[in-house]
Chains A and B, each alone.
Chain A
Amino acid sequence: MVESTGRGVVYSFVTAHVAVSPGYAGALPYSVATVELAEGPRLLGRVEPPAPLAIGDPVVPRFLDHPTWTELYFVPQAEGA
């Protein structure tokens, strides 16, 4: 187990401009990043807003409640510091 602040940097990302992921009803475009946490492990999460985004960008965590689950997503550190 690793305790984490949830802060990290973008290791890589993709930005979807076309609805290619079945069942996902969110707005286009959106970005999903592999985030390398400061403590080492990596997580997948959406990054809001989707662009501009670059590898190495620092990000911080946010939580969004959906009806049956809670989503961990990320925002750029400058906006969420």
Chain B
Amino acid sequence: MRDVVAAPGRVAAVAGVGFTPFSRASGQSVLALAAEAVAGAVADAGLRLDQVDGLHSFMVSDDSVPCVAVSSALGLGQLRTVLDVQLGGQAPCHLVWQAAQSVARGDAEVVVVYRALNGRSGARVGSMQFAGMGGQYRYPIGYGAYLMYVGMWAQRFLHETGQGPEDLGAVAVNQRRYAADNERAARRQPLELEAYLAEPYVVEPYRRSDCTVEVDGACAVVVTSLERARDLVHPPAVVASGCYRAGPRPGLDIGDHLLWEDYTRNYTTWLRDELFGRAGIGQGDVDVAEIYDCFTSTVLMGLEGLGLCARGESGAFVRSGATALDGRLPTNTAGGLLAEGYLHGMNTVAEAVLQVQGRGRVRQAPRHEVAVVTSGALMDGSAMILTADR
């Protein structure tokens, strides 16, 4: 095994994951969903609820419930750390890394990170108008949906890197193949490239299958010390490295990209060296990748941004089969946000944990000692490296 240079203090690990079903209409409150996923993750790890002393979560425009509400609903004991952050898909790796730091410092022992939302039957982020000063320049001219902003970057990215619709389509096709074997996934029907190319545009360059599928549901992961995790039910997924990064001029709100210099490079380019450097590993050591994919293009940009592919070669990489289960770098092995469902990247983290723990079942990557996972699409985001215990 490779040597991992961890953060100072204790090393932290993810010990368990929890999910509710993903649906179009949960019929439950967001609080009930959050409580179910948190309790599920704690039970999955083989811990008791009275051992939880930290909660971290995130929400977009108040579409979720605060940590204290979940603590009250579950009757937890005292909380020694909470974070309720106003972020979207940029948050999951950032929050797990913050939880790991709390555990490493000894501020808390068991921190659960969750995301819960009725993202289909309730407020839908895809058509949400974001608070902040940027909106006044966008909404009146019909530039008011997240897929337009990410699409604006995708168009430039494809142009500069010499890639096209077949490259986007290859991502959608690859992930649908994984989703067929994932009972939680919202889109399990197979997709062939010809059928993808025949789909009409929603917002060019995106077709329907380029876009995530909004769902109701919740997902949670449990962070504790590696020492404690070794005594629990499943093999620990060691939190070897984490990074958040907002590049220069990240905008007035999460949809305001106008001041960003280069639409072909997102936050992954900015955090790459620190992420891998802190973990003490190189890109060639990565066995599994879980790349944030609200849209197909962010997978390509993430693969290139992290240095897992050379510039302009991510599409060819995916088309070659490299990201399939029997390829060099199995990627988005649960079907991703594109096919499993839009839990804003919390499920992306959970899948990385399951892979490192060897719990991927029929979707288990053959080599799974090192996984890289990302959170976010544009100006800011976060990423993490999880490794098997040594």
Contact yes or no, B139 A55, CB < 8 A: no
Give which listed residue, A12, A18, A46, A55, contacts B141 with CB less than 8 A.
A46
Q: How far is the CB of B226 from chain A (nearest CB, A)?
A: 45
Contact yes or no, B142 A26, CB < 8 A: yes
Q: In whole angstroms, what is the CA distance A16 to B127 when docked?
A: 14
Contact yes or no, B151 A14, CB < 8 A: yes
Q: How far is the CB of A63 from chain B (nearest CB, A)?
A: 13
Contact yes or no, A24 B139, CB < 8 A: yes
Neighbouring A residues of B137 by C-beta, 8 Å? 44
Q: Which residues, 18 to 70 on A, are CB-close (under 8 Å) to B?
A: 18, 20-24, 26, 30, 32, 34, 42-46, 55, 66, 69
Contact yes or no, B159 A45, CB < 8 A: no
Q: Which residues, 126 to 144 on B, are CB-close (under 8 Å) to A?
A: 126-127, 129, 137-144
Q: Given the known inter-chain contacts A44-B143, A55-B155, please indicate yes or no for A17 contacting B204, CB distance below 8 A.
A: yes
Neighbouring A residues of B155 by C-beta, 8 Å? 12-14, 55
Contact yes or no, A20 B145, CB < 8 A: yes
Name which residue of chain B comes closest to A32, CB basis: B143
Contact yes or no, B139 A18, CB < 8 A: no
Neighbouring A residues of B147 by C-beta, 8 Å? 20
Contact yes or no, A13 B126, CB < 8 A: no
Q: How far is the CB of A57 from chain B (nearest CB, A)?
A: 12
Contact yes or no, A20 B127, CB < 8 A: yes
Name which residue of chain A comes closest to B201, CB basis: A17
Give which listed residue, A11, A16, A17, contacts B142 with CB less than 8 A.
A16
Neighbouring B residues of A73 by C-beta, 8 Å? 141
Name which residue of chain B comes closest to A13, CB basis: B155
Give which listed residue, A12, A22, A24, contacts B152 with CB less than 8 A.
A12
Q: Which 8 A-B pairs have the closest CB atoms?
A: A24-B142, A21-B144, A12-B156, A20-B145, A15-B204, A14-B151, A32-B143, A21-B142
| Residues in B lying within 8 Å of A, measured CB to CB | 126-127, 129, 137-145, 147-148, 151-153, 155-156, 159, 200-205, 258, 263
Instruction: List 18 A-B pairs, Cβ < 8 Å.
Output: A11-B263, A12-B156, A14-B155, A14-B204, A14-B205, A15-B204, A16-B202, A17-B202, A20-B203, A21-B148, A22-B127, A22-B144, A23-B139, A24-B139, A42-B258, A46-B142, A55-B159, A71-B141
